[in-house]
Structure 1
């Protein structure tokens, strides 16, 4: 219940500021946000998380999105080995992001944890994602080598929102 309310609140705030709106014309390209749109997005995120620190707001927002769109065993109907996938981001050394992946078996007794460092200096900050029609998940790709970085439940809007937040976070971390 709380996750649904959080998701609705985040969506309402972002929709209210026009962040989630679609282009008005079909020939408009999504080549990125203008500086005014970037400033509005970052201002709304800072207001949502009650902080003036852009980096902390983006990190909190990314972690909340990872919780909301976690790929849980309940979504994996018909799969042989159903398991929960949880992710959490932390800040590492300057220009570094730490990703914690926790995989839990369907009954919650088998737990595997994997930590990954993502070096961000000199990489394209835009996160690419795929949501295959036949699959149950969306995959966000590592900006370093384009390998799969993390998987979330198959939700195009959620994947786009998470990719956007991560891209802004990466750009912020690349500043040092």
Structure 2
């Protein structure tokens, strides 16, 4: 009896570890069936009071970026603490604009960086990594796999943001 319980516990821990792996998590979060996709998108449209999927996905992504922003308060013991704030906007057709604002711990040093992300011809699935020893999760660019943005270390938040961004990219690739 005890061996069976131990075996079940080990199996559930291994399965949980596989789902927390960024490669599996990104695929499972965005690999929804047609009915699940439709339900997800209709819930977002209802939540953001719009009939436009693109606007609902953009608003949801920006809300997630605010919720999981990497602030200086999370960086206790770091030499140069700073707030990292992101905002997404729509650009030309097939293009997403990412605004990154970094503020020093005192709030006086502000740097803004804007980035254009061309989406035509790229894999729409967003990958992310949440290293166990770090304080942040990194989401990677679909174009070249380089780091795109950093949020506070939260696996569920990173998975939800990767899912929303993947849906948004697919929507923008439609034109």
CA distance in 2, matches of 1:159, 1:102: 19
Matches within 5 A, 1:124-143: 124-143=123-142
Matches within 5 A, 1:105-124: 105-124=104-123
CA distance in 1, matches of 2:117, 2:35: 29
Query: Which of the pair is proportionally richer in helix?
Result: 2
What is the CA-CA distance between 1:56 and the residue it aligns to? 0.3
1:8 is matched with which residue?
none
2:149 is matched with which residue?
150
TM-score by length of 1: 0.83
TM-score by length of 2: 0.84
What is the CA-CA distance between 1:94 and the residue it aligns to? 0.2
Gaps of 5+ in 2: 1-14
Q: For the aligned residues, what is the CA RMSD?
A: 1.5
1:64 is matched with which residue?
63
| Residue 78 of structure 1 pairs with residue 77 of structure 2 | yes
Gaps of 5+ in 1: 1-25
2:160 is matched with which residue?
161
Higher gyration radius (CA): 2
CA distance in 2, matches of 1:151, 1:64: 15
CA distance in 1, matches of 2:40, 2:96: 21
If asked which structure has higher relative contact order (CA below 8 Å, sep 6+), I would say: 2
CA distance in 2, matches of 1:171, 1:47: 20
What is the CA-CA distance between 1:32 and the residue it aligns to? 0.6
SS of the residue 1:144 aligns to: coil
Q: Deviation digits for residues 52-108 of structure 1, max 9, x if unmatched? A: 000000000000000000000000011000000000000000000000000000000
CA distance in 1, matches of 2:45, 2:66: 19
Q: Which runs of 4+ in 1 moved over 4 A?
A: 26-29
CA distance in 2, matches of 1:71, 1:45: 24
SS of the residue 1:171 aligns to: helix
